[in-house]
Structure 1
Amino acid sequence: MNEPFDIRNAFEKISSGTRTIAVIGSMNADYTVETETLPQPGETVNGGPLQILAGGKSANQASAAAHIGAQVKMLGALGTDDNADFLFSTLAQAGVSMDSVARMEGTSGTTVITVDAHAENTIVYSAGSNAKVNPEYVRSVQRTIQEAAVLGICFESPVESVIEAARIAHRAGVKVLLNNSPFRPELPAEILANIDILLVNEHEMSHMLHLAPPTGGDWAQLDWDGVAQRLCELGCDQAVVTLGSQGAYVLDANGFVENDGHSWRFLKAVKVKAVDTTGCGDAFMGAILAGLTADLSLYDSARLAVYVAGYAATGLGAQSSYGTSKQIVDLLVS
């Protein structure tokens, strides 16, 4: 049986902490339009007003963590266009330290997002300045990485730079959390050797492990102890597998004593009226980063993340939908 979770106390630990999160990667301007249905290949559909919102997986994760009181340092590159100023100021206003962000000649990263009436979306990503986050830049900010409690990485930056950041963090004893997104079915050995926790969704996990999705989409049918063991064999002792509106599984190859020795624990999602799921996965990761920095266990960090991501689904866009701890508690905690 799961012990009671005091979300207010978790938020307090995060907001009163002094250790930092380093997040390296992407900052994007999200060109977002709402439609009744997502277009099929070759089809044109009518959409609502175009909105330009702040996004980028790494920036979203940094913003979500800062919104709930964590000390966050953003690492990456912006361009020299108008979007660069917009993205910089939006993150700074959220409380993210932007001191180490570089400016590169050219355009900033962008995405084109379509959101339908059921809150589902399609996303096209153009890297822009994010592609210029090279290993040389990573080494120039290595002190910020080494001084952090935890590093968040994903694959919206060149893979050689992601590897370099993970290597620097691992050597310094900094915990590394990898969101395998955009998805890579086979992770480089240099990544697996230098990360501590893997975050994927259910489809990414099944693809990585060559598992057929369960009949009828009932992921509870899977042998989650076996999943944990197979991920451990890949080099991932700890992992979180998100299932969208169904919740998440927290996996630990060492097992959970309070769960009859099983190497997994299941978390239900928070019930909300979803408006847009864009950026919810990033909000989930940002909350885990914040929880780990405050010395919460991975499981309790994920319990917190369920609420943070649930709140994010109630608003349009990514960073624009993220809530403070008070907003999240007021809406979702009775």
Structure 2
Amino acid sequence: MSTSSSNNRTRRWLVMVDGSAVSGKAFDACCSFINVQHTKGGIDDLTVMHGVDPKSDAEKPFHLRGARILSSYESNFIKAKRNYDASGKGHMETRVISQTFDGSGPQIPVAQLEWARGAGTTEVAPPIIASLLEATSKQVHPDFVFMGSFGTGGKKVGANGSVTDYLIRLLNSTVCVIKHWRPVPKPEEPATFVVAVDDSPASLKSLEQILVLAKKSDKIVGVTVSRHKGPKDDKIIEEASKVISAHSGVDSPHINVSWKPLVEGSGTAAEVLINAGEELEADYLVIGSVNTAHGAKNRDNICILGSTALYVCSHSKCHTIIVKPPVNDD
């Protein structure tokens, strides 16, 4: 998402829902972030999407059927818009999307590596994933996607469900994964963000993104990890400080960047970051990641989620935000 606060800026938000309590928490978290942005003017476009297999939907309990789930969010929109309009100068638009798919169908090719189109480089996924990806890229074009870590069914991959695991890798948008065991800070409460910082452009982008998203009362802690602190780490902290200075202002949150040692036997850099999140009682652990083969030109190319980002999202107890660089929609 552009960091511009231009009055004609449209910020696009998408929440994936399935009737589970944690997807409801994802909706609440999304609304909290939206309420920070609306004071900047512009338009906040909020979409709720639900994947429906008509064959199995009729067999589900009433409260988990697609029509019932989406109708409940129509009611939630009324409350969200009321809170949004209470202050600020933005405008909120809302909609629901019911995306149908055939759950009994075969796996579907969803993306390919851009430099080598062949059978060995094709990513295939279940019909629900292919359907959600298509609707997301063609109907929503979101800046941010919110989802729960584990929904009402499916298999687990680490701490996440299989649908979440596919989507965090394949979506070409910044993704926020809300964990079911972690409370979501209320809009009026300060939140703590721990941001992984290294020498990659994706890392600085993630820091920049959180500076835009966070409110004045929030706390942001940048963490860089290496075996021995040296000139490289000082350079990383210097570059991070430049990003912070560029976004400083009267409404800026408190932020500092620190170094954490990678001690032999203490685990990987990803584990150090996860531990830092726990030590600092973070609400959100933020990490940048390359996507679509280091700068893809369109959304038909497979996303490459860095191993550190994937591990952090799958194993952190904190809510996780994976910041991805933007790609074109054509």
TM interval, short-chain normalised: 0.3 to 0.5
When normalised by structure 1's length, the TM-score is 0.34
Question: Normalised by the size of structure 2, how large is the TM-score?
Answer: 0.35
More helix by share: 1
